[in-house]
Chain A
Amino acid sequence: MATELPRTQVVVIGLGAVGGVAVLPLVNAGIRVTGLEAGSWLSTRDFAPDELRNNIRDWPQSVGKAKQEIPTVRPDDSSVATQGSGHPMMNAVGGTSLHYWAQSWRLNPWDFKVVSETTRRYGVERLPKDSTVEDWPLSYTDLEPFYDRVEHAVGVSGYAGNVKGTILPQGNRFEGARSREYPMPGLRSSGFTDMMSDAARKLGWHPFQAPAAINSEVYGQRPGCFYHGFCDRGGCHVSAKGSTAVTTIPEAMKSGLLTVTTHARVLRIDNDANGRATGVTYTRGGETFFQPADVVLLASHTYENSRLLLLSTSSEFPRGLANNAEQVGKHYFSHHQGAPVLALFPHNLNNWYGLPAQGVAIDEWADDNFDHSSLDFIGGGNLWAHTDRKPIAAGKMSTFGKAPTWGKEWKAFLMKNADRYNVSYIQKTTLPYEGNYLDLDPDVKDALGLPVLRITARYRENELKIAAFTQDKMEEWYRAAGATDIIRAGLGNTMGASTHAYGGTRMGDRASTNVVDRFGFAHEVPNLGILGASVMGTSGARNPTLTAQALAWRTVSHLLQHWQSIVG
């Protein structure tokens, strides 16, 4: 039997990028919060500049919950699902915000209104046929105040492109209107990024350093970035990265109202006969506990959000909590960030100490920033030429068809070219479709004997057309910068497990097609809030974290304003 713990007002499942933000406005309002985290605390002493450990071995110092529940993947119902080698979820206080690139974009206003804007501009027939996309139940303008709060709470550096309608040339001229500038200027440029910016201007494009939750200067008690180059899947050795573990969580702990319970592996969310959430059951150190709470906020990774709901079956919810409408797991998609372009230059680029969030963005071909009248797809991609090079990755570089892949000639090729290549990062508008979904795998179990999640999904024609279109643009850009050799990766097929995973608990007014309402509370379980990219119905051409964090803050804000009616 589970040991029942003293009641708390709000229990948050997962103290990562979104749960870690949500706790701050809660305790600021005087609410008692218990945060359950599967991992442990990590410190700057754990963040060695070690590519093998960070990028190859996947952080062996963290607790391996995620490693034991790696999802299985298949492109469609008629294929066999196989388990991959990694899980994008990170188990530690701070979660993926510890080791993410920290690119902190707002979505474009178009991303909130894909259906109505496409219909208005091009006609309803231009929406991809089997897509289940809906307009969001809120607009960019509704979310703007929460973007602003998060940018200041975690510390985002960048250049504004649109402050209250005034276009500023140093930033992204296509962005939605902001109420004010970023709290810090953008990260610095490098020789390589200056070269790429010059090439973009030659093409008549508008390059800019994109926003990042990385300090470009001292911010509060944290220093500016040291630019040592181990940001990608690495924690920050000087806490310049605005992980929730060094920003909102410690800030919230000062109140004395936040209890952080590490190594807590949540098994299920419990409910009563009225269909209300009563609390959370978890294991810790071989013991099982029940944490009763007035409100449950589910804030683990997209995959685990759906999985925990599906595992939480009861007589009231026989197919999983909040799933009587059978929408949990639906409208899933992972961001099409693959299909890169590789470029080889005739000189060294000196990218050894770059960060992936330090680079040059081109937004001309993203989302609906360009006219699609004569094209056969909607949406687009953001082109990102970034610094970041590490030695094992360099050793695995493409030989561009110029040398064999081993032996004397390969060695000579590596010696000459290890610092001469670049790989683009192109984030593409990705949509939800019929037939793309998450459910529990019928065969594969985790170490506790619980089923792992199964991903059934593949990119469709619209995504592949965007991929081909943006590869053209990326090649044009690299050629303008002097690249001598170009390789285009394949356009993509199966949607594998991704850090940029969306849907499964989509947000929308219609309870028949969405799990949570416009404020993030479950249609079927009024005191269950769901935080994370799992509520997002479109991706845009942007990293999801800042939007997921802004939505989390908005959900908590709604909870605080309607506490009595939600708690009941």
Chain B
Amino acid sequence: MTQNNKSSVTENMGDGISLSRRNLLKQAGCVSATVLGVGAGGAASTVLAQGTASPRQERIPVREAFETLTARESEILDALVSRILPSDENGPGAHEARVVHYIDRILAGPAGNLRELYASAIEAVEAYSGSHGGGSFTALDEDGQDAVLVAMEAGDMEGFPGSSAAFFNLVRTHTIEGAFSDPYYGGNRDFIGWDLLGYPGVRMGSSPADVQMGEDLPPSRQSAYDMAPYTKDPVSRPAANGGAAHGD
């Protein structure tokens, strides 16, 4: 998911000049960052010059299309995984890491056999929430949502093809995978998950000093597929175009 399937997204660079990120990256292949910087203001040149090191607060959420989840399903699922790995005073969580995008993509691909299970489970969550005073899961407050998850984890909810506890374990596993896998797969946006764990990121090697206790390595801020050997693309790309925007 580096640059081939990006939606055409408009980014406000903070200085009143809007640029399409796709166009920005297209141009980066043939126009130097300095030239672009002149045209687009300081923020753009910063993004290009720093490549993957772009601070996440400068990013604007991208509304990439879901591949198989419906809009409503994605909202409910997003609320659900956000209770498993919440956003709080300790930092961003499953929502910001775009765990639902990860789940959407596996349901449209390698875990396609689970698509119907997710559909049933989301319906069951809604039914349970409705019968417990919420109307919808997304209308419940955090405590109310947590109570639904407690019931699901305990196996006390009906409407699941298997037990609700089995689905809870599944969605918890997918939340972990989405939050902590390589951002190539649609989650772990801007390395939110790896930062949360203190994982300094994939790199090609480590030195003896790097693996001493107390060493605090700076994050590498790259996907495995930013690394030239793994793109499997015979044409090498300019560095500035090599995956500058993880998760979008």
A binds B: yes
Chain A residues engaging chain B, CB cutoff 8 angstroms: 44-45, 48-52, 56-57, 60, 188, 190-192, 195, 226-230, 237, 347-354, 387, 391-392, 394-396, 405-408, 410-412, 414-415, 418-419
Partner of A50, one of B179, B184, B203: B184
CB distance from A322 to the nearest CB of B (A): 39
A52 B185 Cβ-Cβ under 8 A:
yes
B230 A408 Cβ-Cβ under 8 A:
no
A407 B176 Cβ-Cβ under 8 A:
no
Distance, CA A515 to CA B202, complexed state (A): 47
Q: 0/1 per residue, B197-214, Cβ < 8 Å to A?
A: 111101111101011111
A227 B205 Cβ-Cβ under 8 A:
yes
A414 B196 Cβ-Cβ under 8 A:
yes
Residue tally, chain B, CB below 8 Å to A? 48
A414 B197 Cβ-Cβ under 8 A:
yes
B180 A411 Cβ-Cβ under 8 A:
no
- Tell yes or no: B83 within 8 A of A by CB: yes
Distance, CA A349 to CA B230, complexed state (A): 29
B172 A406 Cβ-Cβ under 8 A:
yes
Cβ–Cβ < 8 Å partners of B198 in chain A: 348, 415, 418-419
B9-17, B26-34, B126-134, B221-229: which lies at the interface: B221-229
Question: Given that A190-B211, A350-B212, A395-B193 are contacting pairs, would A406 and B83 also be in contact in the complex, using a CB cutoff of 8 Å?
Answer: yes
Cβ–Cβ < 8 Å partners of A387 in chain B: 211
- Tell yes or no: B123 within 8 A of A by CB: no
Cβ–Cβ < 8 Å partners of B85 in chain A: 406, 410-411
Chain B residues engaging chain A, CB cutoff 8 angstroms: 83-86, 88, 90-91, 93, 110, 146, 149, 153, 172-173, 176-177, 179-182, 184-185, 193-194, 196-200, 202-206, 208, 210-215, 217, 224-225, 227, 229-230, 232
A407 B199 Cβ-Cβ under 8 A:
no
Ranked nearest first, the 6 interchain pairs of A and B with the lowest CB-CB distance are A226-B205, A191-B213, A353-B206, A48-B230, A395-B176, A190-B211
Q: For B84, B181, B212, which residue has the most chain A Cβ atoms within 10 angstroms?
A: B181
CB distance from A565 to the nearest CB of B (A): 49
Cβ–Cβ < 8 Å partners of B196 in chain A: 411, 414-415
Nearest CB in chain A to that of B225: its residue:
A48
**11 extra A-B contacts, CB within 8 A, seeds A392-B181, A394-B180:** A227-B206, A227-B211, A350-B212, A350-B214, A350-B215, A353-B205, A405-B172, A410-B85, A411-B196, A414-B197, A419-B197
B208 A188 Cβ-Cβ under 8 A:
yes
Partner of B213, one of A45, A195, A410: A195
Cβ–Cβ < 8 Å partners of A395 in chain B: 176-177, 179-180, 193, 197
Nearest CB in chain A to that of B83: its residue:
A407
Q: For A51, A230, A411, which residue has the most chain B Cβ atoms within 10 angstroms?
A: A411
B214 A191 Cβ-Cβ under 8 A:
yes
Nearest CB in chain A to that of B210: its residue:
A353
Partner of A347, one of B110, B194, B210, B213: B213
Distance, CA A490 to CA B219, complexed state (A): 37
B212 A190 Cβ-Cβ under 8 A:
yes
Distance, CA A552 to CA B32, complexed state (A): 58
B182 A52 Cβ-Cβ under 8 A:
yes
Distance, CA A44 to CA B198, complexed state (A): 28
CB distance from B150 to the nearest CB of A (A): 10
Cβ–Cβ < 8 Å partners of B224 in chain A: 48-50
- 17 A-B pairs with CB atoms under 8 Å apart are A50-B224, A52-B177, A190-B212, A191-B214, A226-B204, A228-B205, A229-B206, A347-B213, A350-B214, A352-B200, A391-B181, A391-B197, A394-B197, A396-B176, A408-B86, A412-B90, A419-B199
CB distance from B204 to the nearest CB of A (A): 6
Nearest CB in chain A to that of B207: its residue:
A227
CB distance from A345 to the nearest CB of B (A): 10
Cβ–Cβ < 8 Å partners of B212 in chain A: 190-191, 350
